[in-house]
Amino acid sequence: MYKPTYTINNKILSYIGSIEASREVIENAPLVPAYEAKFRQEAIIRTVHHGTHIEGNPLDTGEVAAVLEGEEIDARDRDIQEILNYRKVLSYIDRKKREVTEKDLLAIHKLTVERLLRSDASGKYRKTQVVVKNSKTGEVSFKPPEAALVAGLVKDFFGWLSDSEASDFHPVLVAGITHYVLAYIHPFVDGNGRASRAIATMVLFQRGYDVKKFFSIEEYFDRNAPRYYKTLQSVSNQKVESLSDRDLTPWLEYFCEGLAEELNRVKEKVKKLSLDVKLKGKTGQIALSERQLKLVEFIETYGSVSNKQWRTLLREYSDDTILRDLKDLQKKKLIKKKGSTKGAVYILR
């Protein structure tokens, strides 16, 4: 059975600490349902875009969003199909509630390459040797295991994943290990990167780390694709006898760093759209516009907002528009007005 080799160092501990802190904020943020739905949809678009872009798909985020909305765009059929397929993969992950198994890997691959590969290669392990080449130089950067070894290596890995020992590992580490091992084995003739990343995400979700499905680690990988591939290759090119002997520490550092950075970014965005805990306790969830959120956040930070201050804070809007927002906030019993018209200030209730 497969057994991972790695060292828990200070960097990994720090990144996991950051992940836990961000997760706590995100999962307990008092967001209204509309904001949560928006965050999840944005995460889907970013994951589909970056998860296919890193593999060479040229469509930008706007084009991906249009395809997912069912709109027609001027693009190659193959590029559009890759987008549609990866959305189906994410839907599959959303529906998965049980333990992640080898059957999931085959099902996800089949969805990934639907109408892109022949049926005898879709959801089936490769029967030929493949190599990974540098797209610019043509140089072979990595040679995966022989085809005859693939089924056994995959079986050994999923044996470890379902073992009680793996349940003692931190879920982020299990996801990172999953990503690396499947990318290394390269079980299929095509679609290995997308399938590996999807299964890693599924492992995170299944082990309680969906974090409201607000994040996209695919974006982190795609923003600096050379580093992503270089880190994978640095482990894959180690001169060792077996997969279990490979030291995954450099890869796990990188994987944890990526998830920590992505969740921190989401955390900061969530905090800007969240009311303070004291407001949540008073009012529950209240839908506020972006302008109103800025006003409330300013009052929370500085204690009050004056006419002069809100004109500076929201200089691109008319006085009438801002005054309507302030009246609405008073009506919702979030703020109250103090003083005369010219010298009035608004404070929290």
CA distance 333 to 331: 5
pLDDT band at 277 (very low <50, low <70, confident <90, very high): very low
Q: Where are the domains of the chain?
A: 10-272, 277-348
CATH number of 277-348: 1.10.10.10
CA distance 205 to 301: 35
Residue type at position 315: R
H helical segments located in the chain: 10-28, 33-53, 61-68, 77-95, 102-112, 147-161, 164-167, 171-185, 192-206, 217-223, 225-236, 249-272, 277-283, 290-302, 307-313, 319-331
Q: How many CB atoms lie within 10 A of CB 231?
A: 21
| 68 three-class SS | helix
How far, CA to CA in Å, does 279 sit from each of 31, 130, 296, 305, 335?
A: 12, 58, 10, 17, 10
User: What is the enclosing helix (H) or strand (E) of 348?
Assistant: strand 345-348
pLDDT band at 141 (very low <50, low <70, confident <90, very high): confident
Give domain 10-272's CATH superfamily.
Fido-like domain (1.10.3290.10)
Output the average pLDDT for the chain. 91
Pick the closest to residue 166 from 278, 16, 3, 55 (CA basis): 3
Q: How many CB atoms lie within 10 A of CB 117?
A: 18
CB crowding 282-292: b at 16 or more within 10 Å, else e: eeeebebeebb
Prediction pTM value: 0.81
Structure confidence by residue, pLDDT tens digits, 68-113: 999 999 999 999 999 999 999 999 999 988 899 999 999 999 999 9
Structure confidence by residue, pLDDT tens digits, 173-215: 999 999 999 999 999 999 999 999 999 999 999 999 999 999 9
